[in-house]
Amino acid sequence: MAFREVTMLEVKEVLRLWLLGVPKKRIAKQLGFDVKTVRRYLAAARAHGADPGHGTGALDDALVAAVVKVTQPETGRPRGEGWAVCETHREFIAGHLANRVRLSKVGKLLRRRGVDVGYDTVRRYAVEQLGFGVGARSVPVADGEPGQELQLDTGWMILLEPDLLGRRRRFKAWIFTAVLSRHRFVYPVFHETTATAIEACEAAWEFFGGVFHVVIPDNTKAIVVEADPISPRITDAFLEYAQARGFSIDTTRVRHPKDKARVERTVPTVRDDCFGGEQLRTLDDARAHGRHWSLEDYGMKRHSRTQRLPREHFEAEERAALLPAPTEAYDVPIWADCKVALDQFAAVAKSLYSLPFDLRRHRLRARADSQLVRFYEHGRLVKTHPRKAPGQRSIDGADFPEYAFAAGQRDVAFFIRKAGEHGEHVRRFATALAAGPLPWTRLRSLFKLLGLARKFGAARLDAACKTALDADMVDVHRLATLVRIDARLAAPVAKVIPLARYLRPASQYALPLASRERTDEGEES
């Protein structure tokens, strides 16, 4: 009879029939074995204390295992000469593998030493004897509670159909996967930015009907500024968004795909199964198709791990555990670092905003939403401006000297008001100077008028302006001449200089005075 390996079930059946009192020959005939084979298994059973009188209660897995171990010793694959050669060079192979030398390179180094061993033999030896290629033990990660975790990934998809100019654009997709139910949402975008990440999250909350408690993204720069296993630094805009929607951010570690295993390696699946072969002309078409695929195709296909339909699984267990879905659109802010220039302006989103003089050359942090732009220095709010369109300016006059700001803004009324502070006739003269079209072209005449007030005084200038207005003369140069003439004709102020022979008493001089001088001093006194 040809050799045939006996299975565990057959060994157990042999022992069961024997314990029931069936003769050896009948057992061999019934099971198709040689009687010598049956005799060998029964001898091993007796050696372990089994006896037909004990009945089937003595049959257990320990007895079967002991019989199999005795009757079917592991033979293994016979080793050839190459295995013995590898054993001889064990230290050489192990040393290079410890230094992270590739196994194929180790084979080349062996051949340089005159050792001719095939790569397959070297690899089998390294795997079985040196632990080569044995990775860390795989431990399944718990799915967590319903509605708790949502994993996020992104990747390139396909090209859209040509537009009117014949150009084709390739788009990306943000992929959201619920950890427990594996329900998935796909949101195509052109650029992977913080704004599109927030936009995709808003669409995901509408798709799922609520907000997950924890979002697990990878270390994309759109969300993570600086990756760290313990305390990663999140972008200000996305961190503020997470606070507004009430979810936490748990980023993965760098080069640790198992941290988001539920969504890892889904990019090829989404690209091929969802968008592959589709004729999509616009990004809106891609988004509509991605939503339909998530609901009707992937969502209604039984998952190989959970053995449930992801959409039905989500509806049954996770939807009720989500945070309430947002009811108002989120105003996506722009966070930027800016430097205040020497002209006291800082640029944010291609618009200019004025800041106080003391902040020139300072580096500030700016936050711009659809309504306001706020500037912070070391976390302290220093300035707020209304948001302007690109190319426009927002100027606060309080940031500049009033004269310089009025001149820069061509504020003629300001200089007329300042002229009125020196007298009513000065105000009327300034108004007459600025009368007519293009009044800002006569700002320099107003500057000269105010300079005359500082030089000759308000009273004298007001009198000269009255004379000029009575003569219907509106010329600042002739007014200056008139003021100078009035200054010359004005009576000079008498200067009284007290006469004194000595500025100090005689007792303070080192030399004594002559007799005549002492007499004169006594007479004067």
Element (H, E) at 334: strand 334-339
**pLDDT value at residue 525:** 42
Residues 301 and 377 in one domain: no
Query: How many domains does the chain divide into?
Result: 5
| Averaged pLDDT for residues 162-179 | 94
One domain, residues 340 and 457: no
Q: What is the pLDDT of residue 506?
A: 65
Instruction: With cut-offs at 50, 70 and 90, classify the pLDDT of residue 355.
Output: very high
Same domain assignment for residues 417 and 371 = no
- Same domain for 215 and 285? yes
- Same structural domain, 14 and 125: no
Contacts of residue 298, Cβ cutoff 8 Å, sequence gap at least 6: 184, 273, 274, 310
β 351-354/393-394 pair status: parallel
Lowest mean pLDDT among 123-137, 344-358, 420-434: 123-137
Residue 513 lies in a domain: no
Q: Give residue 524's pLDDT.
A: 47
Last residue of a domain, one of 268, 287, 321: 321
Considering the domain architecture, whether residues 288 and 185 belong to the same structural domain is answered as yes
Residue with tokens 């972008």: 235
Paired tokens of 522:
């006594």
Burial 79-114 (b: 16+ CB within 10 A, else e): eeebbebbeebeeebbebbeeeeebeebbeebeeee
Over residues 187-199, the mean pLDDT reads 96
pLDDT digits (tens, 9 = 90+) for 10-57: 888 888 888 888 888 888 888 888 888 888 888 888 888 888 777 777
> Do residues 177 and 64 both lie within one domain?
no
Q: Which is more confident, 444 or 514?
A: 444
pLDDT-derived band at 61 (thresholds 50, 70, 90) equals: confident
Point out the least confidently predicted range of 147-161, 356-370, 433-447. Answer: 433-447
The pLDDT value recorded for residue 47 is: 86
Tens digit of each residue's pLDDT (9 = 90 or more) over 456-487: 899 989 999 999 998 888 999 999 988 888 76
Same domain assignment for residues 178 and 296 = yes
- The predicted pLDDT at position 432 comes to 92
- What is the CATH number for 243? 3.30.420.10
Q: What number of residues does the chain have?
A: 525
pLDDT above 50 for 1: no
* Distance from C-alpha of 300 to C-alpha of 310, rounded to nearest angstrom: 7
Residue 104 has pLDDT above 50, yes or no: yes
Residue 329 counted as domain residue? no
State the residue range of the domain holding 67: 8-71
Q: What is the largest CA-CA distance in the chain?
A: 173
Residue 237 in any domain: the answer is yes
In the chain, what is the straight-line distance between the N-terminal and C-terminal CA atoms, in Å? 163
Residues 294 and 317 in one domain: yes
Token reading at 60: 């257990």
Q: Cα Rg for the chain, rounded, in angstroms? A: 49
Residues 253 and 120 in one domain: no
- Say whether both 349 and 434 belong to one domain: no
